[in-house]
Structure 1
Amino acid sequence: MDNGGATFGGVSFASLGLLLTRANIPLLPETIQTEEELEGLDGTVDVETRYGPRLIELEVSLITEDEASYQIALQQMAKVFNARAGVRPLILDRMTGKRWMCKYNGRIPIDKIASLGEFTLPFKAFFPFSESVTDSMTQLEYGLGYSYGMGLRYETPPAFSVTTSPTLRTLYHAGTHETYPVIRLVGAGSNITVSNTTTGETLTLNLNMVAGDVLEINCAPLEQTIQKNGSSALSGVNGTFPRLVEGDNNISISGAGLNMTVSFIFRHTYLY
């Protein structure tokens, strides 16, 4: 039994009068399998495997002193778990170094709450993987909630000066699932290439930057954008937006007239 607590969107369960008694989180999300049948062939051909959203169920008890405080607690709960507010971080006290980005999904029969004082809060994580509670630009230190077994290293944040071509760096991703960084370039350069030679992914940027320019590359699928000083700069871009895989990733930055600082901003991402 899980006797710990949790926070959702920065609000502790304890402040709502809730006690988390059990957290049901599947070891892996449900698979979405693509298969093909071929004439004359037994079985099927495994074409692709993807993961669907992860459903999380939290069994809780509502603890109040009287009926009036009970009704107030219900009112507060409805506000905190309002699904229209969008996805927010769910952090369990038993694993304070990880967050699940999710939102309330389902229904809680009010008569069940009233009669038993115990009920299940259903959540859906559309992005089905857990993430570190801070991003890579936060220096690791005691008190952030991280625990042994997450694979984290006490390293300086991944921001470095680039004045020669190519500039090579090794970036470490502790998570067990790939992560997609935001790459921020500040300074001058042209015909810039960003490569992760570990994965073989290269992005070429046929543009010019001068001192003070800020270029941000969001590598996340469905969010892939490139902005220069706040405006879209996707024209003249070729290649593949690079990701980071588990372990060491060998990064190469090349181009002409480079005098910039490059930062890789990401969260360590885990299958569980």
Structure 2
Amino acid sequence: MYGFRYRGRHSSEFGVDLLSYTINSPELREYEEEVPGLPGIVDYGTEWSKRSIDMQIDITPTAKPFKVQQSKILNWFKPTLPAGILVFDEIPDRFYYAKFTGNLGIQQFGTYGTFEFAMKCTDPFIYGPEQIVENTITSNPESIFVVSAGTEPTYPVIRLQNAGNNTINGFSLTIISEVE
């Protein structure tokens, strides 16, 4: 069984197994207006909105009453806190900023129970460890091309270090953003 880590704690700490999850595509916010007498619409653009993740979990029965375990899980999810980092065991190098939303749908059978619920990602993007590091030591002018395979344009972090006694003369830096 797979689990997940949320707010730095693993689901196994709560006796929770992840039965299934669905990472939905982010919603879209479309800005448009209908103008009388004009065919179609005026499109002012589109932006990414929130993303939802639907999850189904079960609780391993213990000697503790089911409602006590349920309360511990609700306290862990605590929707009044800001979004926390959510990582699934199946994809441990990617994470989401998510928070509990909606209701905790419960099906209880004695000391066993399953829950269906949704997590809301107000930041719809998936984050991961992608880093492209290009170490170049040169005394002559040189062009360096670095390509990121991410899905969204991302600003680079460029660090220049002068190890010698000379200043950097005639330096130019061009960042080209190509969106396919």
Interval containing the TM-score (normalised by the shorter chain): 0.7 to 0.9
Q: Which 5+ residue runs of structure 1 have no aligned equivalent?
A: 137-156, 200-244, 247-272
Q: Which 5+ residue runs of structure 2 have no aligned equivalent?
A: 163-167
- Quote the residue 2:79 is aligned against: 83
Q: Deviations over 1:128-183 (max 9, x none)?
A: 12122x241xxxxxxxxxxxxxxxxxxxx4243476796532223223x2142451
Moved over 4 A (4+): 113-116, 161-167, 188-194
Determine which of 48, 53, 56 is the counterpart of 1:51.
48
- Quote the residue 1:195 is aligned against: 174
1:70 to 1:40, Cα distance in 2 relative to 1, 3 A: closer
Q: Deviations over 1:199-226 (max 9, x none)?
A: 4xxxxxxxxxxxxxxxxxxxxxxxxxxx
- Report how far residue 17 of structure 1 moved: 0.7
Are the equivalent residues in 1 in contact too, given 2:153–2:177 (CA < 8 A)? Answer: no
- Quote the residue 1:7 is aligned against: 5
- Quote the residue 1:100 is aligned against: 96
Equivalent position amino acid for 2:18 in 1: L
TM-score (norm 2): 0.74
CA distance in 2, matches of 1:34, 1:165: 49
CA distance in 2, matches of 1:17, 1:70: 13
Determine which of 22, 25, 33 is the counterpart of 2:23.
25
CA RMSD of aligned residues (A): 3.2
CA distance in 2, matches of 1:167, 1:64: 64
Equivalent position amino acid for 1:100 in 2: Y
Equivalent position amino acid for 1:98 in 2: R
TM-score (norm 1): 0.52
1:162 to 1:106, Cα distance in 2 relative to 1, 3 A: farther
Which of the pair has more CA radius of gyration? 2
- Quote the residue 2:123 is aligned against: 127
1:178 to 1:66, Cα distance in 2 relative to 1, 3 A: same
Aligned length: 173
CA distance in 2, matches of 1:41, 1:24: 41
CA distance in 2, matches of 1:79, 1:193: 53
Are residue 67 (structure 1) and residue 42 (structure 2) matched? no
Q: Which has the higher strand share?
A: 1
